[in-house]
Amino acid sequence: MAPSEPSERGLEDRPLVRAFLEKRETLVLFLAARTRSMAMAEDLVQDLYLKVAALEPDIEVRAPVPLLYRMASNLMVDHVRTDQRARRRETQWRSDTRLTFGGEDIVAEPSADQAIIGRERTRQLAEAVAALPPQMGRAFRLNKLQGLTQGQTADEMGISRKMVEQHIQAAMKNLTRRLGS
């Protein structure tokens, strides 16, 4: 067990832990009334327990119950501030990355039917490229799909630039005819 982790044995002997265990239900209700969320209140009380259990065992506490409520309030304030910062970051991110008009997002992505049509066209193009004669297809893939220049394509294939140009022109005619565009 790491030195910072509290051991379960002997925790109940600590005044602050004992006070926490006695007041746990009221602490949950206290936080639930302020956060308007029972789940949030339970999470905050769990965090409070972890903080209380992690305190030095020999710490002297004169008024454990008021201290617990103060700690619970501080945890709640910290949570609210963290949530507000996250919302501000999210809002800033959205304003930096999204187009809006009249307070509404303008979606730059294609609609679902456009995405399906696009995938189908991509599939058809892949099939058409695969059906090209081997040298023509290789020249087209190297130049158009992998982004090599015609000179680099010629070097890669061991043919002249003029031959690469002819292969690419023939491939474009073939693909245009086959795809009907």
90-103 residue pLDDT tens: 888 877 777 777 76
Give the pLDDT confidence score for residue 109 in this predicted structure. 74
What mean pLDDT do residues 116-130 have? 92
For 4, residues 6+ apart whose C-beta sits below 8 A from its C-beta are 54
Distance CA 153, CA 140 (A): 9
What mean pLDDT do residues 49-68 have? 88
pTM of structure: 0.48
Q: Residue 160: is its pLDDT beyond 60?
A: yes
Give the pLDDT confidence score for residue 45 in this predicted structure. 95
For residues 97 and 19, the model is more confident at 19
Q: Residue 40: is its pLDDT beyond 70?
A: yes
Tokens of residue 152, six digits: 């680099």
What mean pLDDT do residues 59-63 have? 85
Give the pLDDT confidence score for residue 55 in this predicted structure. 86
User: Mean pLDDT across the chain, nearest whole number?
Assistant: 87
Q: Residue 76: is its pLDDT beyond 90?
A: yes
Q: Are 5 and 53 in contact (CB under 8 A)?
A: no
Answer positive or negative: Cα dihedral of 75, 78, 79, 80: positive
| Phi, psi of 90, rounded to the nearest 5 degrees | -65, -45
Distance CA 59, CA 7 (A): 16
Give residue for tokens 């903080």. 51
Give the pLDDT confidence score for residue 116 in this predicted structure. 92
